Structure 1
Amino acid sequence: MKTLSLTLELQRTIKGLLILLLLGVYPNLLAFQNSADFKQYEGEVIDIENNNPLVFATITVDGTNISTITNTEGNFLLKVPESLSSGTVLFSFIGYTTKKIALSDLKSDKNKISLKTSALQLSEVNINSPKDAKELFKETLNKKGENYFEDPTLMTAFYRETIKKRKKNVSLSEAVVNIYKTPYSSDKKDAVELYRARKSTDYSKLDTVALKLQGGPFNTLYVDIMKYPEYIFTNESIDDYNFTFDRSTRVNDRLIYIINFSQLSTIKDPLYQGKLYIDAENKTLTSAVYNLNITNRELAAQLFVRKKPAKVDVWPTEVAYRVDYRNKNGKWYYGYSNVLLKFKVDWDDKLFNSVYSMTAEMAVTDWQENSTGKLPKNKERLKKSIILSEEALGFSDPDFWGEYNIIEPEKSIESAIKKIQRQLRRAKKSGTSAP
């Protein structure tokens, strides 16, 4: 029987952007806690023309830091404080016209929000726009030294891992980390320190299987294409892709070119496909959404499963990535990234298989120039092999999390940031080492 395998070079490249699963057996039970001092609104965001769900659409209460995003099925759950009785909710998605709805007009559930595409006027499209999509992307990569942060930067970020069995939350791990970001023009890797972490797991929903995510914040940090293009597009592998222009759009009144990329039909090894969003004026990558081609189940399992019981098969059914950049004083920097892995677990002695999803996401909450350029000592850095759910027990700190001491499974990462920043400011005053 022929054994399928990947070249060592391809394995190293792809594994820079992977979540790895470890399976074992859990011994005990710890249930989620709940909070009731908020109102919540559930619904879905769809394309008005074809009713397709809009994944990672943004929902924001105008003028506040209250925000969430839709999940991979276009569904959302927006939580607002009981004290907030009025306001305007903005529903937005790249390439679509933002819709404004009064908070009082939303129902507690079954809200269906339809967005329509925002067509560009012909006069808006520069007749001198580039004709070669691949060359435009190469130019974008070559300009990273002038368009992105040039100085060493010390960032504070909020990181979260979620495991779900079908649609039910099983486990959450959260952390505040310090990221020592090296200049985009430098080949030096970023370093990460764990500041605070915690977890909450409902073991009763795991079918006695322990699912662990290896890599922690590095899973999301390495999605920063402009800093780590080699994990997707090496000088050699970029020619294994086909690049084409999609319909352009506007974001914050700026013209954005959209480039589709996918592996050539002659390439058999699993590579990536997705969309790149490039600012037309300064040739800056502002966002990227893509996934790994995992049509070959055996090869996909080789990449993702590190350890498993003998009588179980595990294979991923979807691997998706997203990265968003932010602008500050004309320079761009990494702001948010998301990694999603869906997979199936099939036991020999069970009639039906289990469907799980794992999400890792990280958002930068604050940053400052790292004037010395120094990185933390090796013993203070997180290792790339970290399993955060195991570290969280030793680093949990109820005093730090304060009022946010309860993990709410559906609360978006964005809506937690304001509270985390407040705690970090208090930590500064007390003389702790957070930036």
Structure 2
Amino acid sequence: MFRILNVETNAPVPYATIRFAKTKNDTIANVLGDFRIPFRYKNEQEILNISCIGYYSKKIKLNNLENAPYHVIYLTPKTEELTTVVINSKKKHSTKNIVQKAIDNIETNYPIEPYSYIGYYRDYQFVDEEYFNLNEGIVEVFDKGFKTHKISNPLNQTALYRYKLNSEFAQDSLLSHAIYNGAKQIKDGKMGSAIGNELTLLNIHNPIRNYNTGSFSFVYVFKTDFIKNHSFKNKGLVFLDNEELYKTEFSALKNITGSAYKASGYIYISKLDFAIHQFEYKLYSISPRQLILSLNIEYNKQENGKMYLNYITFNNNFFITQNEALQIESSYFNNSNQRFVIKFNRALDLKSIEKLNNIKITFKDRKLSIYNIEAIDKKTIEVQFKKEDSNFLNENDYTNQALFDIRLKNFQDVLGLGMGKSKLEGHQFRELFVQSVNFKENLSSNLKFIDKGASLNSEPINNVNIDDYWLNSPLKEINTNMKD
């Protein structure tokens, strides 16, 4: 396992590109700077070339590393302040004009010919600081070029070579529901369709690939709407290896978003040929301030001079409303075993009963001291009182339930919903990290392709040798004590 950090701040370097000198494949670090590679690459004396926008590149010889579970690699920032943007010695361009030239040059800088790429794909939910339902796989994406419609063109297809649910992470069938505008909804918008395929939803939200069709608010059609809907600020030059990139900050205009929303981001454009290398977009609601969606895209220039997808990550908020909130169904004091029984209408998260002070029970205004709490089944718990309080109940009419007062805190069901709450909120993530690009698409008739509208869980897996590709980016935190 590797983690990439900023040498000056010790902060993670997200989405760095890791190229392999011998295999010519790539992999991408995740948002925490983490990545992993097969152990055999060390035996093969592979060399890693690590690069990221705004940093000096670094080469790592794997056979020089000690055998250890974790390695930390430090990158050094490389930036340059820019006071005046000059395209040539005779003509100056505004920041907006640079963005316009980048959009005008999409058909020149990006492939309009057929191609394909193989990458690591995953989707998951993030709820209450926990990851759920991590599906991951290896996919090959066949694309007829930027002039074709990514979704509707029948020749733009995707083949699954591996796809599985990662059992190391929590699972919940309700959270995994992929069809929006039904049980699973977006708080401040709509997906606009009932597509149940998270990879298709990821592809729809790529405004660079879909530059001449609709994408999302408030980008809409990137070619015609992006510039008129946003204001732009020059933020200087940054570097990708030795190539200078204009870093431009943008914000959606208030007359477009209204008073309820705020949208902003960054776009990184080559000073050399105006190719868009990176695009970041975040949309927030104002009151309350909450993230609605976040998009990160990077394209890299390949040896044929064209820009191909390096990675894309997209997440949006969602909420699920349940018909029944967690509540007490019945309660009574069982004299036979001297236990107080509480039955709930939904299965409990058993962590709720780990702390005795999560339950307070009084009888005739007397607080009863709790000795132990035990789960009888998924919906039922038994509370054992200290002996003097059990004796007190036996001396009184404990059959009158109106004399008991039960107060619970930190109780929740298995979906994470607290007492009286019937709304579960979280974020849905979809991510694709490209590992290799094929400049000539080979759309084999022997492959089985996915249904773009159906869940990937039900789609066929192709029996293809994918030894050079692997499920990559870990989500969990790692120890960062070791250096390269």
TM-score grouping bracket, smaller chain normalisation:
0.5 to 0.7
Q: How many residues align?
A: 341
Which letter does structure 2 place at the counterpart of 1:291?
K
Which letter does structure 2 place at the counterpart of 1:50?
T
Which letter does structure 1 place at the counterpart of 2:432?
E
The Cα shift of 1:219 comes to 3.2
Q: Which of the numbers 91, 104, 109 marks the counterpart of 1:147?
A: 109
The 1:170/1:237 distance shift into structure 2, 3 A limit, reads closer
| Structure 2 Cα separation of the partners of residues 278 and 223 of structure 1 | 20
The Cα shift of 1:101 comes to 3.9
Please list the CA deviations of residues 227-278 of structure 1 after superposition, one character each: whole Å capped at 9, or x if unmatched. 4234225434532312111221232432221211122355335464222121
| 2:242 corresponding residue in structure 1 | 253
Matched, 1:219 2:201: yes
The Cα shift of 1:124 comes to 12
Which has the larger Rg?
2
Which letter does structure 2 place at the counterpart of 1:337?
Y
Please list the CA deviations of residues 78-135 of structure 1 after superposition, one character each: whole Å capped at 9, or x if unmatched. 4331761745444322111123344333563453333221144989985748442122
| Structure 2 Cα separation of the partners of residues 133 and 246 of structure 1 | 9
The 1:68/1:175 distance shift into structure 2, 3 A limit, reads closer
The 1:145/1:98 distance shift into structure 2, 3 A limit, reads closer
The Cα shift of 1:61 comes to 4.6
Question: Any idea what SS the aligned residue of 2:43 has?
Answer: coil
The 1:122/1:196 distance shift into structure 2, 3 A limit, reads closer
The Cα shift of 1:150 comes to 4.0
Matched, 1:172 2:132: no
Q: Which of the numbers 154, 157, 163 marks the counterpart of 1:193?
A: 157
| 1:70 corresponding residue in structure 2 | 29
| 1:337 corresponding residue in structure 2 | 311
Q: Which runs of 5+ in 2 are unaligned?
A: 179-195, 327-410, 418-423, 476-484
Deviates more, 1:68-77 or 1:106-115: 106-115
Q: Which of the numbers 461, 464, 474 marks the counterpart of 1:400?
A: 464
Q: Which of the numbers 309, 319, 327 marks the counterpart of 2:294?
A: 319
| Structure 2 Cα separation of the partners of residues 208 and 242 of structure 1 | 42
Which letter does structure 2 place at the counterpart of 1:245?
N
Question: Any idea what SS the aligned residue of 1:95 has?
Answer: coil
The 1:239/1:74 distance shift into structure 2, 3 A limit, reads same
The Cα shift of 1:62 comes to 4.1
Question: Any idea what SS the aligned residue of 2:39 has?
Answer: strand
| Structure 2 Cα separation of the partners of residues 402 and 226 of structure 1 | 28
Report matched runs for 1:15-414 at 5 Å. Answer: 41-42=1-2, 44-65=3-24, 67-81=26-40, 84=43, 86-103=45-62, 104-105=64-65, 108-109=68-69, 111-120=71-80, 126=86, 128=88, 130-151=92-113, 153-158=114-119, 160-163=121-124, 170-174=133-137, 176-184=139-147, 190-191=153-154, 192-201=156-165, 205-213=170-178, 214-229=196-211, 230-231=214-215, 232-234=219-221, 235-236=224-225, 238-265=227-254, 267-268=257-258, 270=261, 272-294=263-285, 319-330=294-305, 332-341=306-315, 348-349=325-326, 351=412, 352=416, 358-361=429-432, 363=434, 365-368=437-440, 384-391=452-459, 395-397=460-462, 399-401=463-465, 408=471, 410=473
The 1:102/1:295 distance shift into structure 2, 3 A limit, reads farther
The 1:197/1:185 distance shift into structure 2, 3 A limit, reads closer
Question: Any idea what SS the aligned residue of 1:53 has?
Answer: coil
The 1:276/1:401 distance shift into structure 2, 3 A limit, reads same
Which letter does structure 2 place at the counterpart of 1:179?
F
| Structure 1 Cα separation of the partners of residues 36 and 97 of structure 2 | 40
The 1:187/1:60 distance shift into structure 2, 3 A limit, reads closer
| Structure 1 Cα separation of the partners of residues 465 and 252 of structure 2 | 44
The Cα shift of 1:329 comes to 3.3
- Is the CA contact (8 Å cut-off) linking 1:173 and 1:388 kept in structure 2? no
The Cα shift of 1:361 comes to 0.8
Question: Any idea what SS the aligned residue of 1:138 has?
Answer: helix
- Is the CA contact (8 Å cut-off) linking 2:36 and 2:472 kept in structure 1? no
| 2:420 corresponding residue in structure 1 | none
Query: How many percent identity over aligned positions?
Result: 16
| Structure 1 Cα separation of the partners of residues 27 and 150 of structure 2 | 34
Question: Any idea what SS the aligned residue of 2:267 has?
Answer: strand
- Is the CA contact (8 Å cut-off) linking 1:219 and 1:339 kept in structure 2? no
- Is the CA contact (8 Å cut-off) linking 1:262 and 1:272 kept in structure 2? yes
Please tell me the root mean square deviation across aligned C-alpha atoms, in Å: 4.3
Question: Any idea what SS the aligned residue of 2:457 has?
Answer: helix
Which letter does structure 1 place at the counterpart of 2:458?
E
Question: Any idea what SS the aligned residue of 2:440 has?
Answer: strand
Question: Any idea what SS the aligned residue of 1:276 has?
Answer: strand
The 1:154/1:90 distance shift into structure 2, 3 A limit, reads closer
Question: Any idea what SS the aligned residue of 1:79 has?
Answer: coil
The Cα shift of 1:345 comes to 6.7
| Structure 2 Cα separation of the partners of residues 297 and 241 of structure 1 | 23
- Is the CA contact (8 Å cut-off) linking 1:194 and 1:381 kept in structure 2? yes
Q: Which runs of 5+ in 1 are unaligned?
A: 1-40, 301-315, 413-435
The 1:193/1:99 distance shift into structure 2, 3 A limit, reads closer
Please list the CA deviations of residues 202-236 of structure 1 after superposition, one character each: whole Å capped at 9, or x if unmatched. 57822453504433433343454334234225434
The Cα shift of 1:335 comes to 2.5
Deviates more, 1:100-109 or 1:120-129: 120-129
Question: Any idea what SS the aligned residue of 1:108 has?
Answer: coil
| Structure 1 Cα separation of the partners of residues 139 and 87 of structure 2 | 46
| Structure 2 Cα separation of the partners of residues 381 and 202 of structure 1 | 22
Deviates more, 1:76-85 or 1:270-279: 76-85
Deviates more, 1:64-73 or 1:186-195: 186-195
Deviates more, 1:340-349 or 1:203-212: 340-349
